[in-house]
Amino acid sequence: MTAAHPRTSGSPEFVLDGTWRAVAADGDLARGFADPGFADDDWHEVTVPGHWRSHAALREVDGPVLHRRAFDTDPLTPGRRRFLTLDGVFTLADVWLDGAYLGPTEGYFTPHTFEIGRDDPTRREHVLAVEVACPREPDRTAKRSVSGVFAHWDAMDPALAPGGIWRPVRVRDTGPVRIARLRVICTEAGPERGRLLLDLTLDTRSDRDRTPVVLHAAVTGPDGALLALSEREVTLADGDNHLAWAVDVEAPPRWWPWRLGEAARCDLTITADVEGLVSDERSVRTAFREIRVRDWRWTVNGEDLFVMGTNLAPTRALPATATADDLARDIALARDANLDLVRIHAHVARPELYEAADAAGMLVWQDLPLQWGYARSVRQGAVRQARDMVDLLGHHPSVALWCAHNEPLAVVTETDVEPTPGTLARLGAAMFLPTWNKDVLDRSIARALRRADPSRPVNPHSGVMPGLTSSGTDSHFYFGWYHGAIDGLAPALRAAPRLGRFVSEFGAQSVPNTATFLRPERWPDLDWEHLAEHHSLQRAILDRHVPMGAFTTFEEWRDATQAYQAALVTLQVEDLRRLRFDPTGGFCQFSFADPNPAVSWSVLDHERVPKLAFGALRDSCRSLLPMVEPREGLVHVVNETAERLPDARVTVRVDDREHVFAGDVTPHGLTFVGRVGPLIGAERAEVVLDHPGHRIEHRYDLLLPWLGIGTG
């Protein structure tokens, strides 16, 4: 072992972040690299947490990649235990310490813990060796890794493989009893009583056959005041001991989504005492709230909420490169857009994002990282990782719904061309007939999620229409993009209301303002093939709606694509709000922000520069909104607040015509105001709501040019 290694001074608890040594696992290197005396002076220096592709020398390496780190510890004192935890490895790893094999890891978001130091508690110098693999999927219809969008997605560059030790590596000491697992679920949040259900695994290693332990659970409120203190004496056998424990709080402070109230949170601390000494302690920040979703109508603490949301991609395609501020900014931007919910689309995000959502009163729809088709071998690992996901995120009040699988269709399509009859037949069969993905894999995962967390709704799969074995779930509609016309969504939902209970994907692509990656100086001879492969551009479809040949400059084309996207978002969001609870319980626009440079469905580009559609989404999701249905000119006011507006005045101006209406606006509802006639062909239109304390102006300039063009 060479002196070139960075070392960490001895401590009872520390992280092994910083500089490691790494090299591609070529030849026979993997056979001896775990040996403490292995010479690694000529290896590359990499940063952990991180991804090996972030380093120039490993940018083209697919893996596996060997990692090494030397560190020092104090000797273990009698009765103490030591654990090594890898909080996240993308995607598979084998782990050695001091030449001894500790075990494998599987699951990129799941922490993996190994006990160390039992064989030689006096040893001070150590070498940790980790072989990390992030294999590509050879068959995208039968994927084998629970990696979701990181393995297969048309909205992220497939070259940005995220292999690496992407979350911290920690060393931690405990007494003879360790709190190995703590799942915290709020099962009751009434005004008079709240209840937290604790599911613990206590790991005991001692010379005794049975170990007496005193457990303490303390709940403190937002102001630090003690709300509850509970104590329990248990006797543990050697090994893993599972325990369920309910902690009640009288008149708990309740957490609300931002549109309904304050996001009050509490702290829960669990302590395990052995012979009067603290053996281990765990703390989580949680809250009291109840969420129900029945037939896609949402209630929080008994209050109805029409849910307006978006699909959130990973903040960065290489997630370790995102800062805590980056993650918090995405939640803040969603709040600025007047959204209630972010759907964590087919991935599990970094912990900082959920903390930010909790603090902001932002609801979270959480997907297990499954998207499209999977091999049968994935079932056992997916079920285990579903339980791990609940352990990891169950205490967050923002997490409102679990979803097992996004679009479980094991059919690969070329999204930029018209599908062949054979592809359409395979898609139809996968959607409407029984399949292993929908009817075996997804049901197994959904069952595991319900058992792990009985408090939250579980969606077995997203984007599945009614078929022989399913009554249907939420819907994905791309009118004005993949099919139909920009104004086709509302007529389709009126014809088939069941499909409109919750529309969780709709949108269109546009060109971002941060566009140097497109090399606009080459216009119109852009590298279309490269943009399609690495930057999500679906040129043929975009050209169908915004013909490139109609524009003489790149800037004109870019602005037109953004105007079209903004028009689509305005019309389809407002169509869904006009269907408020009849039958629609809410929606999630697709999508919010890009994880890498892209021409995509996002309303914010990879630098978080807004497109025109961001403003359209923000304005159309206001709590109080006057709006005009453009096909027939029907005027409504939708009000998501508890405030009644008596004698409100609504003025609609269409070109040189003005219509004035007066009347009451009901709270928590949709109020019909009147009719002004179709907007098709108009050049200017706006609607204004006036009431003491309120003046809301809503313009339709971006929408009007696209009305009546190939209407569906």
- The DSSP secondary structure of 440-490, one letter per residue, reads IIHHHHHHHHHHH-TTS-EES-BS----SS----SEE--BTTTBS-TT-HH
The percentage of residues in the chain with a pLDDT greater than 90, rounded to a whole number, is 89
- For residue 10, the model assigns a pLDDT of 36
- For residue 712, the model assigns a pLDDT of 37
Burial 651-684 (b: 16+ CB within 10 A, else e): bbbbeeeebebebebeebebbebeebebbeebee
CA atoms within 13 A on the CB side of 80: 16
Q: Which of 1-10, 11-20, 374-383 has the lowest average pLDDT?
A: 1-10
pLDDT tier, 417 (very low <50, low <70, confident <90, very high otherwise):
low
Which whole number is the average pLDDT over 94-106?
97
> How far is 445 from 449, CA to CA, in rounded Å?
6
Q: Which of 176-190, 461-475, 513-527 has the lowest average pLDDT?
A: 461-475
Question: Are 458 and 446 a contacting pair, CB within 8 Å?
Answer: yes
User: What residues does 82 pair with on adjacent strands?
Assistant: 116, 173
> How far is 107 from 136, CA to CA, in rounded Å?
15
pLDDT by residue (tens digit) across 575-610? 999 999 999 999 999 999 999 999 999 999 999 999
pLDDT by residue (tens digit) across 476-518? 999 999 999 999 999 999 999 999 999 999 999 999 999 999 9
- For residue 59, the model assigns a pLDDT of 92
Q: Which of 28-42, 199-213, 288-302, 552-566 has the lowest average pLDDT?
A: 199-213
Which whole number is the average pLDDT over 413-438?
80
> How far is 202 from 272, CA to CA, in rounded Å?
9
pTM for this prediction: 0.95
Burial class, 565, CB count within 10 angstroms (exposed 0-12 / middle 13-18 / buried 19+): buried
What is the torsion angle, in degrees rounded to the nearest 10, for the CA atoms of residue 277, residue 282, residue 286 and residue 287? -20
pLDDT by residue (tens digit) across 382-409? 999 999 999 999 999 999 999 999 999 9
Question: Are 592 and 332 a contacting pair, CB within 8 Å?
Answer: no
SS (H, E, C) 220-253: ECCCCCEEEEEEEEEEEECEEEEEEEEEEEECCC
The percentage of residues in the chain with a pLDDT greater than 70, rounded to a whole number, is 97
Whether 413 shows a pLDDT value over 90: the answer reads: no
What is the average pLDDT value for the chain, to the nearest integer?
94
Question: Are 315 and 326 a contacting pair, CB within 8 Å?
Answer: yes
What is the torsion angle, in degrees rounded to the nearest 10, for the CA atoms of residue 93, residue 97, residue 102 and residue 104? 0
Question: Are 103 and 114 a contacting pair, CB within 8 Å?
Answer: yes
Which whole number is the average pLDDT over 295-323?
97
Locus of tokens 């009451």:
664
Nearest to 217 by CA among 240, 197, 238: 197
- For residue 710, the model assigns a pLDDT of 47
Delineate the domains of the chain, giving CATH numbers in brackets.
13-172 (2.60.120.260), 177-286 (2.60.40.10), 307-508+558-621 (3.20.20.80), 634-706 (2.60.40.10)
- For residue 210, the model assigns a pLDDT of 87
Strand order in the sheet with 503-505: 458-459, 399-403, 363-367, 341-344, 307-312, 586-589, 503-505, 475-476
Question: Are 371 and 152 a contacting pair, CB within 8 Å?
Answer: yes
pLDDT tier, 711 (very low <50, low <70, confident <90, very high otherwise):
very low
Structure tokens at 536: 């999500």
pLDDT by residue (tens digit) across 168-200? 999 999 999 999 999 999 999 999 999 999 999
- For residue 2, the model assigns a pLDDT of 34
pLDDT tier, 708 (very low <50, low <70, confident <90, very high otherwise):
confident
- For residue 8, the model assigns a pLDDT of 36
Whether 411 shows a pLDDT value over 90: the answer reads: no
What DSSP state is assigned to residue 683? S
Nearest to 306 by CA among 314, 297, 317: 297
User: What is the largest distance, in Å, between two alpha-carbon atoms of the chain?
Assistant: 89
pLDDT by residue (tens digit) across 12-46? 689 999 999 999 998 888 889 999 999 999 999 99
Whether 414 shows a pLDDT value over 70: the answer reads: no
Q: Cis check for the bond before 591: say yes or no (omega within 30 of 0).
A: yes
- For residue 269, the model assigns a pLDDT of 98
pLDDT tier, 5 (very low <50, low <70, confident <90, very high otherwise):
very low
Which whole number is the average pLDDT over 671-695?
95
Locus of tokens 């083209």:
60
Residue type, 323: T
